[in-house]
Structure formats: structure tokens, C-alpha cells
Amino acid sequence: MSLLESTEVCKRFSGITALDAVSVTVEPGEPVALIGPNGAGKTTFFNCLLGILRADRGRVTFNGRDITRLPVYKRARLGFGRTFQRVELFTGMTVRDHLLVAERSRLGTGRLWKDILNLAGPSAEERQRANHTLDLLGLLNVADEPIESLSLGRARLVELGRALMTEPLLLLLDEPSSGLDQSETMELVGTLQTVQRERGTAILLVEHDVEMVQAFASRLYVLDFGVIIASGPTGEVMDDEAVRKAYLGELV
């Protein structure tokens, strides 16, 4: 059974077909990438998967369960983790707080009466798990810094760490390389590979950076004008003459 399966997802915006019967599957633990030129519908598709937009037609199933009509936060609880193209962090919190909030949300043990009885502090176990993730991402030395003082590369890692704390089965990464230079991008690829290997997390990557995609994804979908025009193992798709010429231009 596939982990994520979208079947013929369609989305129209006042006359413009943004997605036309898009079917994508992601197997457990698999690194997959979705590429395509600007305006191809990548972000729309992403938002349909996450529940930020509601698909007009088609189905999305996750772990065998139909989630087409589920709100965003419920999908997150089922095992969706995500990062954002434009970094979305919680202003005024430290790096560690970001992870602890996500951990508390995963456990779902936050109750108002516990707050009032001052029982809401992070437990030793929660702290330890947060430390573990901080260590994995190399963020231990900035753990208690306010988020505003971080560089963009670090900020993306915090987003990743926050997503990981919810123990996702599937990570959806929206252009994680945008705004990063090449060495930072390759560092990020390394981290993602570690995560995927150590935790068996499936990753769906939406990306522009062809080099990053080649280094990371084992399978590839190419989206253009709302239609999947090619899919298959990364190497094969990249070698496909039509894809190269039409959508990757002279970049490769």
C-alpha cells in the first residue's frame, strides 16, 4: 500500500485549470521530487495535499485513509510534516521552543487545567527528544537563541526540526533550497538523507534546483500546466529529451 496516493486531483481557479487529473504516489520511506516550471501548479498541488486548498475533484489517501476533506491540522496529526518556501517561524520563540511546541502538539497532552496548575513545563523526555533532533540538525549551539538572530539556512533547519518533532511519516518540502547558496543546499541534502535513512521518513520535494533533485530524489514527477508530463526514476526522466528541452532548458 502506498503511503500517499493522489488520484486525479483537479483544481480550477475561476476558469483556469491549475491542476488537471494529477495522480502521484509516494511509497513509505521514499525520496520523491516534483519539478516543473513556474506556474506549473506545483504549489497548488502541494496545498491540495496539505488541505490548505480543497481539490475540486479527485481523492487523496494517506496510509489507506481518505483524507480529501480533512483540515490541515488533522492531516498534520496523521503524519504530514512540512516546511515552507517562505520561512514561517514563530516570532519571539527560541529554537528549542519551536521544537518543544511541536513535540507537545504531537503528544496532544496540553490542557488548560495543567497550565493553571503549573504542570505544563516540558518533561525530561520531551527535552531529550528535542535535544536529539537539535543534535541531528547541528542546531545545539544555537538552541536557546531567539529565532530572529538566525541566518536563512539555519532558519530552514529549524523548520525541518519542527516538522521532524511531530514524527511525520511523510515530509513535504516546498522549495527548501530557495535563498540558499550551493554549499548550504548540499548540506541540506546531506541532512535530509540522514533523516530519511535514520527515521525512514518518506520525503516529497518540490524543487527548482535540478542539481539538488538529482542528488536527492530516487523518483521524479514533472508537472507542467497542471498535467503530469513525465514520471519515473530520476535518471530516466532527466535523460528524457522532451523534458530536458522543454522544462529544464539549458540548465542541465
Partner 1 sequence: MSDLLNYIILGIPFGCVFALVAVGLVLTYKTSGVFNLAFGAQAFVSAAVFYNTVTNHDWPLLPAFIVSVLIVAPLVGLILDRALYRYLRTAPAIAKLVTSIGLLIAIPEIVKLLPDFDFLQSSVFNPPTIWPNPFAYYHFGDYVLDGNQVATLISTGVAVLLLSVLFRYTTIGLQMRAVVESPRMTELAGINADRVSAFSWMLSSTFAGLAGVLLAPLFAQLAAPNFTILLIAAIAAAAFGRLTSIPLAFVGGILLGVAQGILGGYLPADSILANGLRPSLPFVVLFLLLLFWPGLRQRREIVDPLSGVDPPPPGLSAEQRMRLLTYTTWGLGIVVIAVGLYVALFVVSSFWLLIITKAVIFSLIFLSITVITGMAGQISLCQASFAAVGSFGTAQLAQRFDLPVLLTMVIGAAMAAIVGALLAVPALRLGGIFLALATLAFALMFESIFVPLDWVSGGVLPTKVPRPTFLESDRTFLLFALALLTVVAIGVILIRKGTTGRYLDALRGSETAATAIGINPARARVVAFALSAGIAGLGGGLLAIQENQANYSANFQVLLGLLWLVIVVTIGARTVEGAVQAGLAIAFVPEILKTLGLSPSYQFILFGLGAVTYAKHPEGILEFNKRKSLETVQRWLTRGKEPPGAEGGEVVPARPEPATIAAANPGGNR
Would you tell me which residues interact with partner 1 (CB under 8 A)? 43, 50, 52, 71-74, 76-77, 80-82, 84-93, 97, 100-102, 104-106, 108-112, 114-118, 120, 142, 144-152, 155, 159, 162-163, 165-166, 178-179
As measured in angstroms, the least distance from the Cβ of 236 to partner 1 is: 30
As measured in angstroms, the least distance from the Cβ of 99 to partner 1 is: 10
**How many other β-carbons are positioned within 10 Å of the β-carbon of residue 24?**
21
Question: Pairing between strand 57-62 and 4-13?
Answer: antiparallel
**How many other β-carbons are positioned within 10 Å of the β-carbon of residue 88?**
11
CA pair distance 214, 123, nearest whole angstrom: 41
As measured in angstroms, the least distance from the Cβ of 234 to partner 1 is: 25
Give all strands of the β-sheet with 65-66 in edge-to-edge order: 16-26, 4-13, 57-62, 65-66
Identity of the residue, 33 or 164, whose beta carbon is nearer to partner 1 in the bound complex: 164
CA pair distance 211, 194, nearest whole angstrom: 18
As measured in angstroms, the least distance from the Cβ of 86 to partner 1 is: 4
Identity of the residue, 188 or 230, whose beta carbon is nearer to partner 1 in the bound complex: 188
Identity of the residue, 109 or 194, whose beta carbon is nearer to partner 1 in the bound complex: 109
As measured in angstroms, the least distance from the Cβ of 199 to partner 1 is: 16
CB of 78 within 8 A of CB of 86? no
Q: State which amino acid sits at residue 47.
A: N
CA pair distance 159, 174, nearest whole angstrom: 11
Q: Rounded to 10 degrees, what is the CA torsion of 48, 53, 55, 61? A: 40
Identity of the residue, 32 or 147, whose beta carbon is nearer to partner 1 in the bound complex: 147
As measured in angstroms, the least distance from the Cβ of 235 to partner 1 is: 30
Name which of 248, 136, 145, 246 is nearest 201 in CA terms: 136
As measured in angstroms, the least distance from the Cβ of 238 to partner 1 is: 25
Identity of the residue, 105 or 131, whose beta carbon is nearer to partner 1 in the bound complex: 105
Identity of the residue, 144 or 239, whose beta carbon is nearer to partner 1 in the bound complex: 144
Identity of the residue, 30 or 103, whose beta carbon is nearer to partner 1 in the bound complex: 103
**How many other β-carbons are positioned within 10 Å of the β-carbon of residue 103?**
22
CA pair distance 232, 218, nearest whole angstrom: 9
